[in-house]
């Protein structure tokens, strides 16, 4: 079950090598995103678009706002 985490936990996990995925539409990602994040828009999230991600390492997803 995915766990909701806060900013401090994100930073800690990134330091430990977690993968960061921005699921916003591509245009929004290109305008601004968290440093180091890759973009896989929610509507495109499938086995093919996530093939470059490691399944044995933590993955953090985020969008824009509290929702």
Partner 1 sequence: MSPRAAWRLESLGFAEVYDYGPSRADWMAWGLPREGSSANTPTIGEVARRDVATCALTDTVGDARDRARAAGSDVCAVVTCGRVVLGLLRGKQLESDPEAMVEQVMRPGPTTYHLDSRAREAAERMGDRGVSALLVTSPDGVLVGVLHREDAERAADGVAEP
Residues that bind partner 1 in the complex, under the rule CB under 8 A: 1-7, 9-11, 13, 18, 21-24, 29-37, 42, 45-47, 50, 53, 55-67
Q: How far apart are CA 23 and CA 48, in angstroms?
A: 15
Per-residue DSSP letter, 24: S
Contacts (Cβ under 8 Å, ≥6 apart) of 1? none
């Amino acid at each position: 079950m995915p766990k909701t985490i806060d900013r401090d936990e994100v930073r800690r996990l990134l330091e430990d090598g977690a993968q960061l995925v921005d699921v916003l539409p591509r245009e929004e990602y290109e305008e601004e995103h968290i440093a180091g994040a890759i973009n896989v828009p929610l509507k495109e999230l499938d086995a093919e678009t996530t093939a470059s991600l490691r399944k044995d390492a933590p993955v953090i997803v985020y969008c824009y706002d509290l929702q």
